Amino acid sequence: MVRGLIALAAGLSLAAPLGAAPLVVRVVDPAGKPVRDAVVTLYPASGARAPRSGGRFVVAQKNLQFQPFLTIVPVGADVSFPNLDPTKHHVYSFSPAKRFELKLFAKDQSRTVHFDKAGVVALGCNIHDQMSAFVVVSDSAWTARTNGQGFASFGDAPNAAERVVVWHPYLRTPSGTMQQALGPAQRTATFVVRLRAPPPTMAMDY
């Protein structure tokens, strides 16, 4: 497995621009199973490069769920919240990065929220407790989520000492994140994380 990772990393490096090299981060749980939807952010020692700002993002409410569950947006992005359900929703966030409330909006109504601060914004619906989604407002251009195999790869990761921060909605640490410092030539990193069980989905009783 490790040998495979190195081969993959080597393959990626061929396409990398000068001063940059591919970096692969893997996130697994203590049992070694891959963890998906973990957000990996690189902070180069030289300072973070801001991602491209702007852009429109959609977090819809459909079938009493937020879709998608995880959205990574750059600082300053606008996210619209269209209600595709026949019921009303009361979308809210108490997260410090963005505190807002979209009170009782009905089907086919859409509200837009501007996210101007980096951080994780946890979204909930005051009417439907089981609805949960996350918007990660990133201030680093190197922000990626792990795929089904637990890999997050950066093709142009800066070739300098850097800090890698991993966040996951259910990560069991008081801060909710884990981070590692990478050596100058280190092109791979593995995070072993412990996750809480996702909140139980409530029965649909209407």
The one segment of 37-45, 92-100, 141-149, 155-163 that binds another protein by CB under 8 A: 92-100
179: contact with another protein by CB under 8 A:
no
| Structural contact between residues 136 and 122, judged by C-beta atoms closer than 8 angstroms | no
One-letter amino acid for residue 31 of the chain: A
178: contact with another protein by CB under 8 A:
no
* Chosen residue from 174, 184, 203, 204 binding another protein by CB under 8 A: 174
Cα separation, 27 vs 35, in Å, equals: 6
Alpha-carbon separation of residue 150 from 39, 56, 94, 146, 155 (angstroms): 10, 27, 29, 5, 16
102: contact with another protein by CB under 8 A:
no
Shortest Cβ distance from residue 71 to another protein (Å)?
A: 15
Report the site for another protein in 27-86 (rule: CB under 8 A). none
Give alpha helix (H) positions in the chain.
2-13
Task: Please give the helix or strand (H or E) that residue 79 lies within, else none.
Answer: strand 77-82
* Chosen residue from 5, 60, 122, 161 binding another protein by CB under 8 A: 122
Shortest Cβ distance from residue 172 to another protein (Å)?
A: 6
Residues at the interface with another protein (CB under 8 A):
92, 94-95, 99, 122-126, 129, 131-132, 134, 169, 172, 174-176, 196-197, 199
